[in-house]
Structure 1
Amino acid sequence: MKLTKKFVIALVGMAIIGSSIAGFTTMQASSTPLVSAVAANTQQVKYNKPKYIFTFIGDGMSYVQLNAAQVYKGVTEQGGINLGKLAVSSFPVVGSATTQDSTSFCPDSASTATAISSGVKTHSGVIGYNADKQTKPESITEKLKKDGYKIGVVSSVSIDHATPAAFYAHEVSRSNMYNIALQLAESDFDYFGGGSLAQPTGKDNDQADAFKIIEENGYTIADTAEEIKALNKDSGKVYAISPELQDSQSMNYAVDTEKGDLQLKDFVKKGIEVLDNEDGFFMMVEGGKIDWAGHANDARANIGDVIALDEAVQVAIDFASKHPEETLILVTGDHETGGMTIGYSTTGYNTAFNMLENQEMSYVEFDKLIADYKASTNAKDAKVEDLLPTIKENFGLITSKDKDASKNPEMVMTDYEYNKLEKAFNETMKATADRSKDEEAGVLYGGYEPLSVTLTHILNNKAGIGWTSYSHTGVPVPVYAMGQGQELFNGAYDNTDIFHKLVEICGLK
């Protein structure tokens, strides 16, 4: 076969391009402190080791939760078919991470947080151990602490919960929260903030007070707004606990906060002050109650906490604008919770997220109103009509007989919806031990207060939001990156690769 001159030139050109791509891949795979990449055979891009690293984790947050927050902000701020802006919308790099652990495609927070913090697959429920439950990987925080960085861990849920724990503890069961609290005390990490401890004196309240042990290990515990505001880089090791706590020693849902309450973003701002030093810092920040709202299928609470996490991300972006060559910010989820989707069978192609504005409180706070009603009402005399004014006030849902039915027809419950509400009310009025435990009850209520979860379902469905589960699901999660080494987080990969990419960028072993 005779080769033409043009064909030979084309072959040579392809060889050169192939060589360039191979060189680029080899450089990306290196683990030196300075990561290099060759682009277009002429331009060399260098990533300096970041001095400041923020890793934000929305527990239970995947693509739909983020987009639901964008839709909600868009329709409430502008109306029509508009997406509201989130801080993560400005990130130049977006990757995608799979989330399965060594036991399930629907993993839990312990194993997925361990994957992110330590780069290994392990069992659901296991924190900071390999799948053998015997050997412990060294986490990114432990590595960076040895490298001179200061370390911060912030969460809107209790600080001994699975996700924050994976960044400072090693425990074969996430339920051993007292042991986790003791490891916090021994970690020598520099800043903890957000929620309190769920088991400060152990499961049976028979152990030495973990708060005292934490203080004995050199930590200042600040649990008032005044004490927290006074903290700075000279405060030493700090554990800042939110003065306002809700369920299971967590911070309030964003929808339940009052003006002046400390928010997740405030703990990030304070963390930056406390961790400020010449050698740099790493801060992990978890929006933990995104997950809890997902479990309960409460879209309004879920969206509110996604926005709260995003506001905390904005604090990091503002900091990075002053240190653009030294900062890396990552935002991801550990897994998805609830099987949330935009669209519902009865709404067809329509959505009405503005309806969610009618919800004034989370399911947790409404549960308290139900408890008050049950405490003051004989079960035989209880009737759902008693609670209709409270339901209207806090969810906006009304019956066709309500005086505002003609003004707000979209908030009128259909006969089908009202029958569901009445059935849920009857279940709620029963003692917990007497409630139905059949398959239908599991599908309808998922172990939550029947009336509360039914109200959120009705409102969510009217708005055009559906749920498939009260548990975690197996869908991938986004990984947003901004700053030094951001390009390495492009593409599709496993959640363990987040750890390995950080190790590479930071030049760690």
Structure 2
Amino acid sequence: MKSPLSSPAVALLAVLVLCSFLAGPAPAADAPERKPKYVFLFIGDGMGLPQISAAQYYLAAKEGTVGGNKLLMTSMPYQGITTTYSAESPITDSAAAGTAMACGVKSYNAGLGVDDRKKPYRSIASLAKAKGMKVGIVTSVSLDHATPGAFYAHQESRRSYHEIGHELAKSGFDYFAGGGFLDPDGKKSKAPQGNVVEAVKKAGYTVVDDRAGFEALGPKSGKVVAMNKRLPDEEAMPYAIDATTPDVTLAEFTTKGIRLLDNPKGFFMMVEGGKIDWSCHANDAATTLGDLMAFNAAIAEARKFAEAHPKDTLIVVTGDHETGGLTVGFAGTKYANYFTVLDGQKTSFQAFKDEVLAPFIASHGTAARFEDVQPLITQHFGLKFAGDPKTDRLVLKDYEVAQLREAFQRSLGGEKEASKDEQGYLLYGGYDPLTVTVTHLLNQKAGLGWTTYSHTGVPVATAAQGPGGKLFAGYYDNTDIFKKLAAAMGFDAKPALLVKN
């Protein structure tokens, strides 16, 4: 006999209760007919419910408590759940997801600003620009990457970086900020169009690539492309955990955007926390939390602006998909969690591999001993090779040391596990064996687990506040992000084909 708790009726009731909970109360101040003058769309790339939950539990643990709303998005009055599938798969990539949110249509994975028939569609950003609003695009990755590109470019492949860069120059948008360009000279293009940065300058943009130039920007600077000076990996900004004083933060780029874009006709700004996704691909929880906190700090800048313009500012926060299959829970810790052990990590997986491990192997060669790299692991991740693991969670057990020793030998041999070896891939993905093993062990000690080095198909959370915010409560698809933004802003909510002149 089936348990009554497993009946379809009870399951349906649970879903309805969950949806009503997520919708939350609608403050009377948010009249549906009022159009927002200022619109912020924040996209946490790779940020699913597990990443949000892990961040909140981590922050609570730092305070000696268990839970609570510790992120700005979870304190917003309107809460929703958003599906993310692409036209061809339950698991989307960032291009298809970005296209869905920017243009309101489903695309195949890798399609940018086009539908599944490769037809180009207008983005919410271009509609805002056509209505006289100023437009800003901010990201912690390269400016020609999938998510930012979905708001101004139309390409059959997200990897057409050179062409995407030239579309940026032609977009007429007012403010681009964050990383650089992946193929400025068209070395990977079949039809190079000339240097992208030169094209951007020719289009009338002021281009700055250091803090001094960034700080000098003001309302009289005109259209702007602002890049962080240090772009250590794939023309992206450094991970927040690795950032140094000269680096411009995502929050600072957001604040500057507000100052440059503010005008009587209002603005639309998309801000992406792009490297949340990258660190989740690498299964590095501490680095993920660092970038999620940087993303939260950028949202805080929009919230400050909204406090000064409460009846005119709409803020929407969402993710494009979940990455890594993160779980808040690990078999080895059962119901317990020890999130603060993540504080032992001082360096991202990328910086450790590039700036610590690579020079170590280069200087020691094949004579390198595992014992010689142990102090570096302790210094950068907090894991200890001596002590009692029963009283100190950061002390490694014998089998964990054995895992690290084996991974070190693979790294020493220059092995990348995106290899021919399926078992190796399941262990390490396409990352340095020692580095990913270190982060896995530290994450497991915290009580966190991962299931993949890729994206997953689970829904993401969406939150909103301000005029039009109530539209974002409930359960809906990522294409509805475009439609709801358009409806709130007074535009035609039907996706529109791009008519090329």
Q: TM-score, structure 1 length as denominator?
A: 0.88
Q: AA paired with 2:259?
A: E
For residues 22-421 of structure 1, the aligned pairs below 5 Å read 45-76=31-62, 78-83=63-68, 85-133=70-118, 135-204=119-188, 208-259=194-245, 261-368=247-354, 369-379=356-366, 381-399=367-385, 402=386, 405=388, 409-421=392-404
Quick one: distance in 2 between partners of 1:225 and 1:431? 37
Q: AA paired with 1:495?
A: N
Seen in structure 2, the aligned counterparts of structure 1 residues 241 and 408 have a Cα distance that, compared at 3 Å, is farther
Seen in structure 2, the aligned counterparts of structure 1 residues 215 and 90 have a Cα distance that, compared at 3 Å, is same
Contact 1:73 1:83 in 2 (8 A): no
Q: Does 1:465 align with 2:448?
A: yes
Quick one: distance in 2 between partners of 1:318 and 1:210? 35
Seen in structure 2, the aligned counterparts of structure 1 residues 470 and 492 have a Cα distance that, compared at 3 Å, is same
**Deviation string, structure 1 residues 81-132 (Cα, Å, up to 9, x no partner):** 2446222232001011100010111110000000000000010001000110
Quick one: distance in 1 between partners of 2:44 and 2:308? 25
Seen in structure 2, the aligned counterparts of structure 1 residues 383 and 408 have a Cα distance that, compared at 3 Å, is farther
Quick one: distance in 2 between partners of 1:204 and 1:291? 24
79-88 vs 365-374, greater mean Cα deviation: 79-88
CA offset at residue 261 of structure 1? 2.9
CA offset at residue 462 of structure 1? 0.6
Larger Rg: 1
Q: Does 1:486 align with 2:469?
A: yes
Contact 2:139 2:148 in 1 (8 A): yes
For residue 239 of structure 1, give the secondary structure of its aligned residue in structure 2: strand
Seen in structure 2, the aligned counterparts of structure 1 residues 312 and 471 have a Cα distance that, compared at 3 Å, is same
Match of 2:407 in 1: 424
Quick one: distance in 2 between partners of 1:333 and 1:271? 21
CA offset at residue 73 of structure 1? 1.4
CA offset at residue 409 of structure 1? 2.4
**Deviation string, structure 1 residues 175-226 (Cα, Å, up to 9, x no partner):** 1000000000000000000111111112349762211111011000011111
Q: TM-score, structure 2 length as denominator?
A: 0.89
State how many pairs are aligned.
463
Quick one: distance in 2 between partners of 1:43 and 1:91? 14
Seen in structure 2, the aligned counterparts of structure 1 residues 296 and 118 have a Cα distance that, compared at 3 Å, is same
**Deviation string, structure 1 residues 285-309 (Cα, Å, up to 9, x no partner):** 0000000000000000001111110
Consecutive unaligned residues of structure 1, counting only runs of 5 or more, are: 1-38
* Aligned pair partner of 2:427 in 424, 444, 458: 444
Contact 1:73 1:84 in 2 (8 A): no
Q: AA paired with 1:54?
A: F
Match of 1:26 in 2: none
Percent of paired sites with the same residue: 46
**Deviation string, structure 1 residues 209-258 (Cα, Å, up to 9, x no partner):** 21111101100001111111111222111001012222111111111112
For residue 86 of structure 1, give the secondary structure of its aligned residue in structure 2: coil
Quick one: distance in 2 between partners of 1:476 and 1:317? 25
54-63 vs 230-239, greater mean Cα deviation: 230-239
Seen in structure 2, the aligned counterparts of structure 1 residues 196 and 412 have a Cα distance that, compared at 3 Å, is same
Seen in structure 2, the aligned counterparts of structure 1 residues 107 and 433 have a Cα distance that, compared at 3 Å, is closer
